[in-house]
């Protein structure tokens, strides 16, 4: 557990071009700091994903949504003659402000990170698939503690010391899934349908923890100590989901949805090194003596189960007449009490989160600004990490969907630039550390006809 003195944070770098060194002490626990698990389209709406249905972006959170990728049928036999493939990708720029309650200490760190790459396509009418890769969590911290050491038996003074704590790593998910309609029919001029989907993902990552201690003495030169543990882990995880859309009128529909991810056991291997060393300017750290050097220790990491349920109420826009809007909410629970790392518990707890958001679209006309979608959202709920007290979380988000004009050489292309800005507060004055996170997300959704049956005269 962190002590107050541990919260003297040393930042190595800030921006270096488009990247920098992130620094979040809470990433020491669990699998690290969780990154957003929705696309940038819905990230502007508070991260809604359970019931969100769209033809022009990839909702990779709920595989049931893959059934909605657009396909076009031949008039005679009603088979799929062509389909619209979607490529969706994004990046984040994060700025984190760290505060130590009760003091004037404030630290800042920034980073630019890859967010996701996803591809979706229809396989036939009412059946589609999606695949891609995205980060799930990030481990990145760098801090030191200055203190006096005492003999635990006699209580006598030993010496002053400085201990540097460093962590690096994170987790990723390469996913493939499929979704299809169980039934569909036209009702009140709109499509009523029930969809289900499954997704398999290869979850992999690493955690590299290092503690380096130096004793400070004017007359005696002590060797420095290094305590390092490197863990790599991976395995398959699964997700199942559903979505049901019910037309309420010719211009309005209600969608409900949910998805469930069972717990998983990851295969893990760990290297443990305990050594003394000295630093050389030209060669770096040079080992003096190895106290412990264990390689390839087998174990497992147990991930918790989770579920999300939600709804989305949508009013469809009418060209040159009426604008449209969406309004929805999601509720998520993750059973972090079941998390284990090589059989050990961690400073984590089962948590929930509530996501509320919406989108407003003006009356679609010929002007560019009338075709922009405006989004907003709220996120609240306790963090899954618990150090001393619960970590409260509260976030606000806004976003926009900007259509990119279509080229005459590619009349079937539909492209959107999606922007989302999030402000998230983590912790309060009762916690050891409080964080304010500012995140700008930029994404592109590109779609085009990927298959068309050719006709010859």
| Beta-carbon count within 10 A of 451 CB | 14
Express each pLDDT in 224-234 by its tens digit: 889 999 999 99
- What separation in angstroms does the CA of 233 have from each of 134, 343, 389, 422? 16, 14, 29, 31
Express each pLDDT in 10-59 by its tens digit: 322 222 233 345 788 899 999 999 999 999 999 999 999 999 988 889 99
CA distance 143 to 166: 7
Express each pLDDT in 210-256 by its tens digit: 999 888 877 777 788 899 999 999 999 999 999 999 999 989 999 99
Among 19-23, 129-133, 385-389, where is mean pLDDT lowest? 19-23
At residue 9, does pLDDT exceed 50?
no
Find the mean pLDDT for residues 340-360: 96
Find the mean pLDDT for residues 384-388: 89
Among 32-41, 56-65, 155-164, 338-347, where is mean pLDDT lowest? 155-164
Can you give the pLDDT at residue 128?
94
Domain ranges of the chain: 4-452
Tell me the whole-structure pTM to 2 decimals: 0.88
Q: Which CATH number fits domain 4-452: 2.120.10.30, 3.40.50.300, 1.10.3260.10, 2.40.160.60?
A: 2.40.160.60
At residue 191, does pLDDT exceed 80?
yes
Express each pLDDT in 80-114 by its tens digit: 545 788 999 999 999 999 888 777 778 888 888 89
Contact (Cβ atoms closer than 8 angstroms) between residue 83 and residue 67: no
Can you give the pLDDT at residue 76?
53
Can you give the pLDDT at residue 78?
54
Contact (Cβ atoms closer than 8 angstroms) between residue 191 and residue 245: yes
Residue-averaged pLDDT of the chain: 86
At residue 182, does pLDDT exceed 90?
yes
Can you give the pLDDT at residue 5?
30
Of 204, 129, 213, 218, give the one whose Cα is nearest residue 169.
204
How many Cα atoms occupy the beta-carbon half-sphere of 172 within 13 Å? Answer: 13
Q: Which two tokens stand for residue 423?
A: 């402000």
**% the chain with pLDDT above 90:** 58
């Amino acid at each position: 557990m962190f002590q107050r003195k541990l919260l003297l944070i040393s930042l190595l770098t800030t921006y270096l071009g488009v990247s920098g060194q992130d620094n979040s002490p809470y990433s020491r626990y669990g699998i690290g700091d969780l990154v957003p698990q929705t696309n940038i389209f819905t990230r502007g709406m508070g991260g809604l994903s359970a019931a969100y249905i769209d033809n022009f972006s990839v909702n990779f959170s709920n595989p049931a949504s893959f059934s909605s990728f657009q396909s076009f049928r031949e008039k005679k036999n009603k088979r799929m003659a062509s389909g619209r493939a979607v490529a969706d990708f994004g990046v984040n720029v994060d700025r984190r402000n760290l505060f130590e309650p009760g003091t004037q200490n404030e630290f800042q760190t920034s980073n630019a990170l890859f967010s996701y790459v996803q591809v979706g396509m229809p396989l036939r009418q009412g059946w589609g698939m999606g695949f891609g890769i995205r980060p799930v969590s990030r481990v990145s911290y760098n801090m030191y503690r200055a203190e006096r050491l005492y003999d635990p038996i006699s209580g006598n003074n030993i010496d002053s010391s400085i201990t540097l704590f460093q962590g690096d790593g994170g987790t990723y998910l390469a996913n493939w899934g499929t979704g299809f309609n169980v039934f569909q029919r036209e009702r009140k001029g709109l499509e009523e349908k029930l969809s289900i989907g499954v997704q398999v993902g290869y979850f992999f990552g690493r955690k590299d923890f290092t503690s380096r201690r130096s004793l400070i003495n004017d007359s005696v030169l002590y060797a420095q100590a290094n305590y390092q543990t490197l863990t790599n882990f991976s395995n398959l995880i699964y997700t199942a989901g559903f979505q049901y859309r019910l037309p309420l009128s010719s211009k309005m529909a209600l969608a409900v949805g949910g998805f469930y991810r069972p717990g998983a056991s990851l295969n893990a291997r760990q290297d443990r090194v305990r050594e003394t060393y000295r630093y050389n300017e030209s060669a770096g750290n040079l080992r003096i003596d190895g106290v412990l050097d264990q390689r390839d220790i087998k174990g497992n990491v147990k991930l918790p189960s989770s579920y999300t349920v939600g709804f989305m109420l949508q009013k469809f826009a009418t060209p040159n007449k009426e604008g449209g809007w969406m309004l929805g909410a999601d509720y998520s629970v993750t059973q972090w009490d079941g998390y284990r790392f090589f059989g050990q518990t961690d400073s984590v707890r089962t948590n929930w989160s509530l996501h509320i958001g919406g989108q407003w679209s003006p009356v679609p006309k010929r002007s560019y600004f009338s075709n922009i979608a405006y989004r907003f959202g709220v996120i609240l709920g306790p963090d899954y990490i618990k150090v001393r007290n619960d970590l409260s979380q509260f976030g606000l988000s806004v976003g926009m969907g900007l259509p990119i004009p279509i080229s005459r050489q590619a009349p079937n292309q539909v492209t959107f630039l999606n922007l989302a800005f999030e402000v998230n507060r983590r912790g309060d004055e009762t916690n050891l550390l409080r964080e304010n996170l500012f995140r700008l997300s930029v994404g592109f959704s590109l779609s085009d006809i990927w298959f068309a049956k050719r006709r010859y005269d």
